[in-house]
Structure 1
Amino acid sequence: MKLVVLGLSLSSSWGNGHATTFRALLSAFAKRGHDILFLERDVPWYASQRDLVDPDYCRLAFYDDLPSLDHWRGEIESADAVMVGSYVPEGIAVGQYVQRHARGTTLLYDIDTPITLANVRAGKCDYLSPDLISGYDIYCSFTGGPTLDLLEREYGSPMARALYCSVDPAAYRPIDVPKRWDLSYLGTYSPDRQPTLERLLIEPARLMSDRRFVVAGPQYPADIDWPANVERIEHLPPQDHAEFYSASRFTLNVTRADMIEAGWSPSVRLFEAGACGTTIISDVWPGLGDLLTPNKEILFAWNAEQVIVALDEERAAVGEAGRARILAEHTADHRAQQLETYLHEASAMQAQHKVALAG
């Protein structure tokens, strides 16, 4: 089929997890024989930080503003499916444009569902509104569990389905490098994640001065008091992620507050780190135990003391078991197959609806 995607970014992974998510999913979707066009808003903060300009699995094109989308109107009209991502600039207007002109299946891929819905309820979401939710044929959600029922029951989504983030196992795999750090964390600064990072990495670092820690990611405030044994990496491009995780005995998974409350919201970093065979220490939220078995495939921690106990042990087998589970259930190939299934399901529902109207 022909798929058009209007997403936040494919070309730049700077400060966002969307690019690596789209890259893995669309590469796997293309391998299933589909044709893909990715339309990205040309904005200066990504234009100056591009690390992918010519993907071999899809066409990548840029548009300047809403009026310039008309250049691609024919592609949108003729596509079998048109996907709009979360956080797309002027996403409400983009969604209205797509729903007005697309003749095929329309879908939203929300990589930020709990944050999206919190902002929609507060009337502060600039890329999604309640009427758009009911207008998309499919709401593909980063979050599973009860949120899917909420989307259909309260917001009128015709079809809400979980489409978790995933990992490309060719890009994320164990690398034979020396262990440089006892505990690592990879993620952009977020105020609601920072208390957990303080509790589960910075505090253990202060108490374990002989151990080595690292935090990689942009936008951390200058006034954070980093212990001397915490290395800082401002930006780590995706091609260096596998080596980063492989050089870590343990890595930390930290979840945003809205996603903890909603549950069933695994981040792309969780799958990427696990695919590298690194033992993950995670904060705790509903649904995580359904994805990875506690103490066997992942470790949970509520406080610094539990992290310290873990770091004093050899738990490489947990990382190996986590990697096996992720390769069995959470690769980009699995997600591409799910997406294809959802699109066929929506198409069948639309055909039934047309028959019912005709009758």
Structure 2
Amino acid sequence: MKRIAFYGSSLLSSYWNGAATYYRGLLRDLAGRGYHVTFYEPDAFERQSHRDIDPPDWAQVRVYPATHEAMRAVVAEAAEADIVVKASGVGVFDDELLEGVTAAARPEAIRIFWDVDAPATLAEMRGNPGHALHRAMPDLDLVLTYGGGPPVVSAYEGFGARACIPVYNALDPETHHPVPPDPRFTADLAFLGNRLPDREERVQTFFLVAAARLPERTFLLGGSGWESRGLPVNVRHLGHVSTRDHNAFNVSPLAVLNIARESMAAVGYSPATRVFEAAGAGGCLITDAWVGLDLFLKEGEEVLVARDGRDVAEHVAALTPERARAIGEAARRRILSEHTYARRGAQVDAIFRDEASRKRESRQTERSVA
């Protein structure tokens, strides 16, 4: 039970791919536990021309052309794995990949759907009785999610999942850690996130409103897609920020802002990668409010919480460098203690082992009955 075939968006590029850090942290830890990981990613969405890591020594990465022929070829390789994972949001042939790898996997292999955007997936399933996941669910052993907590678990179980287990985002301290401030990212408040329909209104509410209320302060906006958006004069837009610059982006401003997408905030229990990256670097984090935050950080001591742009502006106006540093250091201690990818990797390893044992016992029972 050591060979993992993982079909996801991209391991090599974080370009329009927020799950990259999550994949890297978890799979590197699992490789350290003796798993052989093969990650299959399509050559799509210009990600290969925006790689921010080289192919790692802890995973074999198979980049395949975004064609039906190439997709069918990599699907067939699922038959060689002990654990077959189809992640959500690959973006190319998602339904065909799910159905293909589920069918190709050996009977004794563990079949997993790993949802990195559960609110979106569940909304699609509610609106489409013919969704591919409805058809695949009876053949899946597990659904894992990177957020969502009890609401998502209940929803997936309602759709027939044998088991749904959240495996939250976390910190890889080797990748995200304190660094010296970088003048490129100097500001009173910085926000990093691509422009998405599910996020734009909340960026207006929490970030741009705060900037308008504090015209004498400086604000920094990182992420793709904002080029055509009108911005207050005190907001500087950077465009895409490579993961190699995230540490400096998080420690150079007085504070950094996390804004959950609307669907994630509504479900709760969905800390974004940015939360752990900022805490790992020791940055002072201001976040929008969502249910379940206290599982990860304590309001007022390890994180500042805002209900709207007025709250954000008040936090920024009142924040001193000394308090910002104290909050960032407290957050880093908490995350290092409780929320690293080493802990998540141990969790996933235990999940894999338990599921392998369950399947062995089930097969033995079937043979004895026969």
Give 1:229's aligned residue: 234
**Whole-Å Cα distance in 2 between the matches of residues 66 and 167 of structure 1?**
36
Match of 2:59 in 1: 58
* Equivalent in the alignment of 2:180: 176
RMSD: 1.9
2: CA distance between counterparts of 1:118 and 1:194? 19
Alpha-carbon shift at residue 83 of structure 1 (Å): 1.0
Deviation at 1:295, TM superposition (A): 1.1
Partner of residue 122, structure 2: 117
One-letter amino acid of the counterpart of residue 306, structure 2 = A
Q: Does 1:353 align with 2:362?
A: yes
Classify 1:198/1:290 alpha carbon distance in 2 versus 1 (closer, same or farther; 3 Å).
same
Instruction: Choose from 249, 252, 255 the match for 1:244.
Output: 249
Q: Residue 98 of structure 2 aligns with which residue? A: 95
Q: Indicate which of 290, 301, 305 corresponds to 1:300.
A: 305
State the secondary structure of the residue aligned to 1:170: coil
Q: Assess if the C-alpha contact under 8 Å between 1:138 and 1:160 holds in 2.
A: yes
Q: 277, 282, 296: which one pairs with 2:282?
A: 277
SS state at 2:246 partner: helix
Q: Deviations along 1:174-197, whole A, 9 cap, x unmatched?
A: 112267111110111122322222
Match of 2:81 among 76, 79, 82: 79
Report what 2:338 is aligned to.
Answer: 329
CA distance in 2, matches of 1:337, 1:263: 24
Deviation at 1:63, TM superposition (A): 2.0
SS across alignment from 2:285: strand
Stretches of structure 2 that go unaligned for 5 or more consecutive residues are none
Given residue 36 of structure 1, which amino acid in structure 2 is its aligned partner? V
Indicate the residue corresponding to 1:156 in structure 2: 160
Structure 1 CA distance, aligned partners of 2:13 and 2:82? 26
Change over 3 Å in CA distance of 1:313–1:68 after alignment to 2: closer
1:39 matched to which residue of 2?
40
Give per-residue Cα distances to partners, 1:70-109, cap 9 Å, x unaligned.
5446642121101111112211111111111112111111
Partner of 1:209: 215
User: Which AA in structure 2 matches 1:130?
Assistant: H
Q: Match of 1:137, as an amino acid?
A: D
Contact 1:173-1:277 at 8 Å conserved across structures: yes
Q: CA deviation at 1:3?
A: 0.9
Partners of 2:219 and 2:130 lie apart in 1 by 36
Specify the alignment match of 2:262 in structure 1.
257
Structure 1 length normalisation: TM-score?
Answer: 0.93
Secondary structure at 1:145's aligned position in 2? helix
Instruction: Work out whether residues 10 and 23 of structure 1, in 8 Å CA contact, stay in contact via their aligned partners in 2.
Output: yes
Equivalent in the alignment of 1:340: 349
Aligned residue identity for 2:101:
V
What is the CA-CA distance between 1:351 and the residue it aligns to?
Answer: 1.7
Aligned residue number for residue 188 of structure 1: 194
Equivalent pairs counted in the alignment come to 356
Q: Indicate the SS of the match to 1:158.
A: coil
Whole-angstrom distance in 2 between the partners of 1:276 and 1:337: 23
Q: Residues 237 and 125 of structure 1: is their aligned pair in 2 closer, same or farther, counting only changes over 3 Å?
A: farther
**Residue identity opposite 1:25 in structure 2:** L
Correspondence 1:14-29 to 2 at 5 A: 14-29=15-30
**Per-residue deviation at 1:347?**
1.0
2:202–2:259 CA contact under 8 A, matched in 1:
yes
| Distance in 1 between residues matched to 2:44 and 2:129, nearest whole Å | 22
Offset from partner CA, 1:206-240 (integer Å, 9 cap, x none)? 22222111010001251x22112111011101001
Moved more, 198-207 or 230-239: 198-207
C-alpha distance in 1 between matches for 2:305 and 2:138: 37
- The 1:347/1:188 distance shift into structure 2, 3 A limit, reads same
Partner amino acid, structure 2, of 1:132: A
> Sequence identity, in percent?
29
Cα distance in structure 1, aligned partners of 2:290 and 2:138: 28
- Does the Cα contact within 8 Å between 1:261 and 1:285 map onto a contact in 2? yes
Quick check: 110-119 or 16-25, which moved more? 16-25
- The Cα shift of 1:289 comes to 1.8
Question: What secondary structure, in the 3-state scheme, does the structure 1 residue paired with 2:225 have?
Answer: coil
CA displacement at 1:69 relative to structure 2:
4.1
Distance in 2, Cα, partners of 1:203 & 1:70? 48
Tell me, yes or no, if the aligned pair for 1:92 and 1:132 is still in contact at 8 Å: no
Does the 8 Å contact 2:302/2:331 carry over to 1?
yes
Paired residue for 2:143? 139
Residue 124 (structure 1) shift: 9.3
How far off its partner does 1:305 sit?
2.6
Amino acid at match of 2:48: A
Aligned partners of 2:198 and 2:262 also within 8 Å: yes
Could you list the structure 1 runs, at least 4 aligned residues long, displaced by more than 3 angstroms after superposition. Answer: 69-75
Partner of 1:198: 204
User: d(CA) in 2 for partners of 1:298 and 1:273?
Assistant: 10
